[in-house]
Chain A
Amino acid sequence: MHRALVRPLAPGNRMQSRWTDGRPMADVVAEFIKPNDRLTAFDRLEIYNRMYWFRLIDSFYEDNPGLRAALGDRKFNQLAIAYLTKHPSRSFTLRNLCGQLETFIRREPRWTAPHTALALDIARFEWAQTVTFDEAMRPVLTAADFGRTDPSRLRLGLQPHVTLLALQHPVDTYVIAVKKRDSLRSEASNATTSARHAARTRKVARPRRERLWLAVHRVENRMYYKRLEAPAFKILVALRDGQPLVRAVAAAGRGVTPAQVQDWFALWMQLGWICRRK
């Protein structure tokens, strides 16, 4: 039943009429599901087949409004079905449904061509929002913590809710223009899902290429996007990846003054981004 349930729908949101071996689907389903006086076995399984896809596609739409706007409805829907066929949910929560989307777009660029570079940026940005929304907030580091360890050995942590993105497009302003949202995810008990999909997104011109270094983060449980200078971004990446403080600062490269580094750290501490490594 599971294999039948997760097979993509045929046009018109109907269950496919043939099983994988070519047999009529109605015959296959009738082997294990009873008909009743109003519905055939095929009709009854089709209810579940449709609900499976409507539920997953709704969640995909909800999590990717920017990607939908950039690709257009038809192409976005094709991407959703291709992705969800290859990457069905492996988590108890739909929150994690789009966790493999970036990898999928890289591996199968045909679904997003000719806008694959933009699609990748948006997919990464929209997944970062999911992560930022409910990831952990560890105790922030205090100035006193800095003094206890030799800077050449001191390794700092970056809050799990902070996602660093090096992007080719200004997708932050683009997605904000498409849909302002700050909603909470929710799953419901036993309720069915109709094929309504998320509300239509606003029509906004696709952004042009522009290098951008961005942090998606949370302050007092509200989500923010902060544009970063490239050297500051490099320091944060090095810290996130476990480099000792001295080497992380060196990652910024030449031309960065101690005063700049000091200002950056002061801001990051103020935002609560820096924490102890786990």
Chain B
Amino acid sequence: MPANAFNGRTDYGIGLGLRVPHYSHILEKKPVVGWFEIISENFMCDGGRPLEVLDRILEQYRVVQHGVSMYFGSADKPDREHLKRLKALVKRTNTPWLSDHLCWGSVDGTYTHDLLPMPYTLAAAKRTAAKIRRVRDFLEVPICVENVSSYAEFHVSEMTEWEFLSEVVERADCGILLDVNNIYVSSRNHGFNPYDYLNGVPHHRVGQMHIAGHTKFEKYLLDTHDHPVLDPVWKLYAEATRLCGVTATLLEWDDRIPSFDEVHDEALKANEFIADAKTARKKSPSPRSRAA
């Protein structure tokens, strides 16, 4: 069941991140693409070429907004000016849902521009859920929160990451943008089983998925978004799709970006796994029921 309340009851299929090196190709060739994900912050400006490009894209394509600076996990209150700009963009794009990360990244108005892992405590979950609710009420659009890749864990954590994610989204009554690559990267960095993570989240709340490439270093994996998707991530994606149903899926490729066609072809590989997942799902339905 791909459409749910957390993705505006849409069925968007496979999408691509809208990236600067591809603008001219997209505008000139008008390739067939299910949808584009934009980084909201790149278009929260007052004019100029960013908005011109966006408006031209909106004439032809469905667009979903993805943010990198809301910092639901930061103690700071949401910045009013930020929210106003974001809401103006929501109205412009008519995004059916909006996503940002389950992380922190700002302190007293100073921004790190990073997606920092949170301590997995009940207090943090409650505070974060309250912030998500406030933002959603202001923006009047469904919100999905994305699990981040991480390289550190805190002594004070009281639960696993997937328990924390579940706690937050249940309390906020919001959706999940399940980043399968991030689950894999974090599982290798922290030594947990990524399939435990997949099994541990409320599948009916998954409104979107991310896939991406990462880089292997000697002692850890780094989430670089500069490679094709690696095989273990595709396998995890297939299982995620079996558990959650075929869900709007986006390939992230943010660095060393190859041609549009190469990125598009990589994204469309997801279709193979979707087909497999559909077959597997018929044979063995997910043990967790999905909400209506």
Give me the interface of A with B, judged by CB distance under 8 Å: 1-2, 5-6, 31-34, 36-39, 41, 43-45, 47-48, 51-52, 55-56, 88-95, 132-137, 160-161, 183-192, 194, 218, 221-222
Contact = CB atoms under 8 A, between A and B. Distances in A.
Of listed B19, B82, B111, B152, residue having the most chain A CB within 10 A: B152
Nearest to B185: A190
A136 B222 contact: no
A93 B155 contact: no
Nearest to B100: A189
B222 A39 contact: no
Contacts of A134: 45-51
Which of under 10, 10 to 19, 20 to 34, or 35 or more describes the interface residues of B? 35 or more
Given A94-B113, A133-B49, 9 more contacts: A5-B116, A32-B156, A38-B219, A93-B44, A188-B39, A190-B115, A190-B223, A190-B225, A222-B49
B52 interface: yes
A218 B48 contact: yes
A38 to B, nearest CB: 4
Contacts of B50: 134, 184-185
Nearest to B81: A92
B45 A189 contact: no
Given A134-B45, A134-B49, A92 B82 contact: yes
A187 B42 contact: yes
Contact of A221 (B49, B146, B254): B49
B25 interface: no
Interface in B253-291: 254-255
Contact of B66 (A32, A189, A192): A189
Given A184-B50, A191-B224, A1 B116 contact: yes
Interface of B is mostly: mixed
A187 B39 contact: yes
A95 B69 CA distance: 13
A32 B223 CA distance: 23
A255 B187 CA distance: 75
28 contacts: A2-B112, A6-B112, A32-B154, A32-B156, A33-B152, A39-B219, A41-B152, A52-B113, A92-B69, A93-B41, A93-B44, A94-B113, A95-B45, A133-B48, A135-B45, A137-B47, A184-B23, A186-B19, A187-B42, A188-B225, A188-B252, A189-B68, A190-B146, A190-B212, A190-B225, A192-B222, A192-B224, A218-B48
A33 B153 contact: yes
B152 A89 contact: no
B42 A185 contact: yes
A52 B68 contact: no
Interface of A is mostly: loop
Contact of B191 (A37, A92, A137, A184): A37
Interface string B11-55: 000000101100100000000000000010110111111111100
Contacts of A94: 113
Interface of B: 17, 19-20, 23, 39, 41-42, 44-53, 66, 68-69, 79, 82, 101, 107, 109-116, 146, 148-149, 151-156, 179, 182, 189-191, 212, 219-220, 222-226, 252, 254-255
Contacts of B223: 190-192
Given A186-B42, A187-B68, A32 B17 contact: no
A43 B209 CA distance: 30
B212 to A, nearest CB: 8
B12 to A, nearest CB: 17
Of listed B50, B109, B113, B190, residue having the most chain A CB within 10 A: B113
A32 B39 CA distance: 32
Nearest to B17: A189
A221 B219 contact: no
A190 B52 contact: no
CB-CB nearest 8 A-B residue pairs:
A188-B254, A136-B46, A134-B48, A134-B45, A92-B69, A191-B225, A191-B254, A44-B152
A52 B112 contact: yes
A44 B151 contact: yes
Nearest to A188: B254
A191 B48 contact: no
Given A48-B151, A135-B46, A187 B226 contact: no
Nearest to B103: A190
B39 to A, nearest CB: 5
B19 A55 contact: no
